[in-house]
Amino acid sequence: MISQKQKMKMQQKLTPQQLMLMSLLQLPVTSLEQRIKEEMEKNPMLEVDSNQNGESDYNEGDGRLDDGNNDNDNDFNGIDIDEYYDDDDYSYREREERDKNIETRYYEPGNRESFTESLLRQLSMQNLTEREHTIATEIIGCIDGSGYLGRDLQLIANDMAFRKGIEVEEEEIERILKIVQSFDPAGVGARNLQENLSIQLHRMPSDDTTDLAITIVEKYFGHLSNRRYSVMAKALKVDEATLNAAINKIRHLNPKPGWGRDEENRGAHYILPDFIVSNEGDTISFTLNDRNTPRLQISETYSDIRKNLTNKKRNTEEERKTLQFITSKTEAAQQLIEALEQRQQTLAIIMSAIISYQKEFFLTGDNRNLRPMKLKDIAEKTGFDESTVSRVVNHKYVQTKHGTILLKELFSKAVMTESGDITAIKHIKEVLKHIIDKEDKSNPLSDEALSTELKKNGYNISRRTVTKYRESMDIPVQRLRKELQA
């Protein structure tokens, strides 16, 4: 017998206007221009404002976007410094300041099939429903260059609700993820190293050694990571030779199934900054780079037609359909115009807060003046949610007199030097790169030696953290640096 139950739950629903704003915030200026062109093609009510004045300047010190903070306050009052320290975590993926609210990734065209294009091609061969295909596409967009899924399933579900209006449960995403994990290369879409190794082993023909390797990875991964081989041998009741054979099989697996694919296939591209920062003395101002972005307005011609039809006492069937069409398109156009205006205001407020926080860096361009900064800091200064700040800073560039910078690079954790000073990780990386540039190329330094050199400079950084920083800067290992110089 089928039983019926009533269930109450609270759900937060975003309005179409909010969904549109979220979508527009994440777009860099080049994508925004394309989006506006597409909207104008779809909606005849939209036209370019003939009175467009061009760019708007914002001065950090003029009071219009005052955040109530003293720009000369360079200490860390009110900040929990422990939140900024490098956690010394290494897991085959660069985790530094990874933003869990990161949006759909933007891929640059190349001459050959990219890693992402390969996954999408394999997806097109699957017999999936439109909903399943949409979820799978979202998952692929969250897979990083190393081949790992860089987002939590709940955050993917939130993104789909926010940006696409699709309600989806974690269980459904998990099911579709298994399909993506069946694609090549083996291990793609794994959420961690353990899952990656397990996927690869399950793809291999079954034999005693492979089965033992699967058991080790899935049940004794902690012992494997810490090289507790004798403990594993005793627990698994196998001899040393059998255990070594299984471990050797694991060692030959690929820890980064997608590593290097995107980098190899990227074509040449041009960077168009979203913000232009300038300064006169100690006063910093910035401009939203929208000179190529058309300012929109509602078509006066169609507005007059709508007004005439509305005032007419009796309309024909055709006129009623025309009025209904114009009204719906006008409402959509007005929503877009308001969302674009709100986008500009949001970008201006958040950029103003970033400049205020990193004023010394913008004045000098010296990474030593880059303050440790998290998304939460800017969210607290502006009153916006962290996810909103994330959408604003991701995939956007700022042009300064010291060069064009990826806005996300201004967000960094901190390291405490032996003298007790707080230094941003970006500066540590700069020091590390300088040491590598100056090394003897006939006998390059190992990561352990690089750690020792950093300690001589006052930075107590472990070997595995050096490895993490080196890989994040795409610097080869010791052996390859020597070979590249041969």
Rg of the Cα atoms in the chain: 27
Say how far apart CA 4 and CA 274 lie, in whole Å.
54
Please report the DSSP string for 107-168 in residue order: ----SS--HHHHHHHHHHTS---HHHHHHHHHHHHTB-TTSBB-S-HHHHHHHHHHHH----
Of residues 332 and 70, the one with the higher pLDDT is 332
Quick one: pLDDT band at residue 22, thresholds 50, 70, 90?
confident
- State residue 179's pLDDT score: 92
Say how far apart CA 381 and CA 69 lie, in whole Å.
9
Work out the end-to-end distance of the chain between its first and last CA atoms, rounded to an integer number of angstroms: 78
Of residues 346 and 428, the one with the higher pLDDT is 346
CB 147 within 8 A of CB 260: no
- State residue 18's pLDDT score: 77
- State residue 108's pLDDT score: 42
Q: With 90 as the cut, is the pLDDT of residue 146 above it?
A: no
Of residues 420 and 46, the one with the higher pLDDT is 46
Domains and CATH numbers, the chain: 13-99+273-412 (no CATH), 109-268 (no CATH), 414-484 (1.10.10.60)
Quick one: pLDDT band at residue 354, thresholds 50, 70, 90?
very high
Torsion over CA: 151, 154, 160, 163 (sign): negative
Place of tokens 């502006």: 382
Q: pTM score, two decimals?
A: 0.52
CB 274 within 8 A of CB 397: yes
Quote the distance between the C-alpha of residue 195 and its chain's center.
22
At residue 351, φ and ψ (nearest 5 deg) are -65, -35
Of residues 191 and 80, the one with the higher pLDDT is 191
Q: What is the pLDDT of residues 209-221, one digit of tens each?
A: 889 999 999 888 8
Q: With 70 as the cut, is the pLDDT of residue 61 above it?
A: no
